[in-house]
Amino acid sequence: MTYLIPERAIGLTEKVLLEYGRLLPSHEGLVYWAGRREGEVATVTTVIAPKVSSGPGRAATSARANFDVVRTLSDSGLTQIAQVHSHPGRWSDHSEGDDRLTAFRVNGLVSIVVPHYCRAGMHPLTTCGIHRYGAGTFLRLSDAYVRKHFRVLAGSDARLKDLRGL
């Protein structure tokens, strides 16, 4: 699978995650990437900011927040491609809580962990932990795989769908 990610989607994701990271104390943040899958290509078009219950070491969504995400996907004709959330410090693997609390565990879901509450951004993507769900677990993708299959597109557009006020 090849993932096409507009530079603007990265910027919007960083903006939302940093809003959580700048709280005192810093909180983990969470967004979803949505778009279209055609064959072996997934293209991100939308960053969805769900309503999140967050804290210094956690970010979770309620059943209602998940309903709002699913409704947004359905109304827009989009598919969830990834979830992106931040962690404190430099550790970017999936925690036991990440594995257990991920709302939409479907085969092929990408889960990106951004270290340092996103204060250092997401560039290059290999500074993040990129995992994919399959066979009942999240497996971290190698840096070589990420460099080959995740392409950040300059000049491509994306939009933010902010559901936090619902």
Please state, for a pLDDT cut of 70, what percent of the chain lies above it. 99
Determine the Cα–Cα distance for residues 137 and 7; give it in Å rounded to an integer: 29
Q: Which CATH architecture has domain 2-162?
A: 3-Layer(aba) Sandwich (3.40)
Tell me the pTM. 0.96
Confidence band (pLDDT; 50, 70, 90) for 53? very high
Query: Which residue type is seen at 142?
Result: S
What is the phi-psi region of residue 124: left when phi exceeds 0, alpha when psi lies from -120 to 50, beta otherwise?
beta
Closest CA relative to residue 98, chosen from 74, 68, 130:
130
Q: What is the pLDDT of residue 166?
A: 66
